[in-house]
Structure 1
Amino acid sequence: MTELSRILVVEDQPLLLLDLIDQLAELGFEALPAGSARTAARLLDTGIDALVTDIELGSGPDGLALARLAARAHPGLPIVVVSGGICPSPAELPPGAMFIAKPYSVDAILAALRRQALCRAA
């Protein structure tokens, strides 16, 4: 899996969610928005190519739980976990997932996703 086209973006802050969705769309990606881990979990089986999730998602499961669920359901799925307040240890991330601290750039997120996709395709 080296082609990324459908990216599930999970963020509970609407402005941050819309900003990343818009930036990805401008670059030609189809970005699926989700404001919670519960909503995102329902979208995992819709043919996504990658997941970008914040850790702190308000009430309910957090982004780390979602990332682990996604990794179990779709081994090899490129996953980027972001946060402005929590810095997870490597053991808290699913194998192969990458953490990027906020504020981030869309270029940094895409580079991390592409790196994972290339590594897993090799």
Structure 2
Amino acid sequence: MTDLSRVLVVEDEIILLLSLIDDLEDLGLDAVPVTSARGAMSLLDQVDALVTDVELPGNYTGLQLARFAATARPGMPIVVVSGGVTPKADDLPVGAVFIPKPYSTATIVAALERQVVARAA
């Protein structure tokens, strides 16, 4: 998983954020926690993958962040999650994966790994 050594996790629900961060770190990944899309934008150059909730505080949604990340870092694996909003396929950047809450960390990691493999092919 060297292509996924550093994962940016954007989630405004602190318990979910800390839980996913702990789980990713238990798997040997460096997980970077952020609670807003705006805060995440400046960190995209420092990470290998993005996991973001759709609904975030502030002026930018997780979908906007995902599209920004796909433009700023083409090929970056992106997972978008939500417990309330199910985005349409054309709302997601090409290649990004949507996973509904509740999710397992294994599901998140598998989706990121599939994107790495697909982009390497």
Relative to the length of structure 1, the TM-score reads: 0.96
Amino acid at match of 2:87: P
Question: Measured at CA, do residues 67 and 97 of structure 1 come closer, stay the same or move farther in structure 2, by a change above 3 Å?
Answer: same
RMSD of equivalent CA atoms: 1.2
| Structure 2 equivalent of residue 38 of structure 1 | 38
Secondary structure of the corresponding residue to residue 31 of structure 2 = strand
Measure the CA separation in 2 of the matches of 1:103 and 1:110: 14
Q: Quote the sequence identity (%).
A: 61
Amino acid at match of 2:53: D
| Structure 1 equivalent of residue 72 of structure 2 | 73
Where does the alignment leave 5 or more consecutive residues of structure 1 unmatched? none
Deviation at 1:2, TM superposition (A): 6.8
Amino acid at match of 2:97: M
| Structure 1 equivalent of residue 6 of structure 2 | 6
Question: Measured at CA, do residues 28 and 2 of structure 1 come closer, stay the same or move farther in structure 2, by a change above 3 Å?
Answer: closer
Measure the CA separation in 2 of the matches of 1:88 and 1:121: 26
Where does the alignment leave 5 or more consecutive residues of structure 2 unmatched? none
Amino acid at match of 1:97: A
Deviation at 1:12, TM superposition (A): 0.5
Measure the CA separation in 1 of the matches of 2:83 and 2:44: 24
Relative to the length of structure 2, the TM-score reads: 0.97
Measure the CA separation in 2 of the matches of 1:2 and 1:112: 15
What is the number of residues matched between the two proteins?
Answer: 121
Deviations 1:27-46 (A, max 9, x none): 10000010000100011112
Instruction: Report matched runs for 1:77-96 at 5 Å.
Output: 77-96=76-95
